[in-house]
Amino acid sequence: APGVWGVRPCPPPSPSAAVSQVTVRDALNQALDEELERDERVFLLGEEVAQYDGAYKISRGLWKKYGDKRVIDTPISEMGFTGIAVGAAMAGLRPVCEFMTFNFSMQAIDQVINSAAKTCYMSAGSIGVPIVFRGPNGASAGVAAQHSQCFAAWYGHCPGLKVVSPWSAEDAKGLLKASIRDDNPVVMLENELLYGVPFEMSEEAQSKEFVIPIGKAKIERQGTHVTLVSHSRSVGHCLEAAAVLAKEGVECEVINMRTIRPMDIETVEASVVKTNHLVTVEGGWPQFGVGAEICARIMEGPAFNYLDAPAVRVTGADVPMPYAKILEDNCIPQVKDIVFAVKKALNI
């Protein structure tokens, strides 16, 4: 619903296109099902992924379909089961390792960075680690500081990893399938508040061979006055803000990054050359954030000469997430914050 999850209504499909409403949860479930069926080396492990159908029901029905060897419930030990998954990837399997929240991936950070991310380089390419680390990332609702951190900047900082951050159902399915098929470790940062949100998916996106290339951003809305760059749930907020600003004669171009590492800065540069203004939006903390990296890359590249005003960042507040709802709301970028930042950038 617009204004609740940061999602705008999708435009009506053309009469020739077969379009269905699919939630992000179901899109992820489809992707896992199709890849488990396609490649017997793929398996899923994590807490409650099997008999309980997943803490968020992402793996619903997969244990009954594929059995104990392909969908594995683990003890509550992130360091343990992540290490098992990394070792399995080194041995030639293709694990999908689910964290109940990426905040808990801190328990396994040594396995993700030192074991998975660095091994291909340190072995001169002789040992691959084709693994996907996935689960909800960033703020949910009313779960306080230890469940609400965005790790896009953390994992995006580390060479050896690919990092994807989907917004829509199409993003979720296409990026998860691409991640499972990739020969490198991939961190897939989903958002819990998007799991139940329906998006329109084309017939093409629902095919078993649909993948979205890792490292390619998508322009969600064309515009001429300012470039809004975002990822994950904040993309919806940007689209809502763009709709508000359009009523005032300001046309925003909204870019959904989709991938944090490698970053598609070329798409952002081309947009900034056209609009001459840049606003980045993210739910994470400001210091050393995704927006900071985008702004730095624009400053260092050819698009800098086209900026008519300094770039503006919209971020989460620089504090651990509070539990109280009114404080939480003020820690997460809202549509009004994006509108304010655009007007600041345009000096209106």
- For the sheet with 132-136, list strands across it: 71-73, 42-46, 94-98, 132-136, 186-190, 162-164, 259-261
State the catalytic residue, choosing from 34, 35, 78, 192. 78
The H or E element spanning position 227 is strand 226-230
| Count of helix runs (H) and strand runs (E) in the chain | 12, 14
147 part of the active site: yes
What token pair was written down for 235? 């993309």
- Residue 49 and residue 76: Cα distance in Å, rounded? 12
Sign of the C-alpha dihedral computed for residues 210, 216, 217 and 220 taken in this order:
negative
Catalytic residue, from 34, 98, 147, 253: name it.
147
* 269: number of Cβ within 10 Å: 19
DSSP per-residue letters across 265-287: HHHHHHHHHHHS-EEEE-SS-ST
DSSP assignment of 150-166: --HHHHHTSTT-EEE--
Residue identified by tokens 């504090």 is: 319
In the residue annotation, 78 being an active-site residue is answered as yes
β-pair type (162-164, 259-261): antiparallel
d(CA 292, CA 294): 6
Spatial separation of the C-alpha atoms in residues 213 and 191, rounded to whole Å:
20
Q: Which are the catalytic amino acids?
A: 78, 147
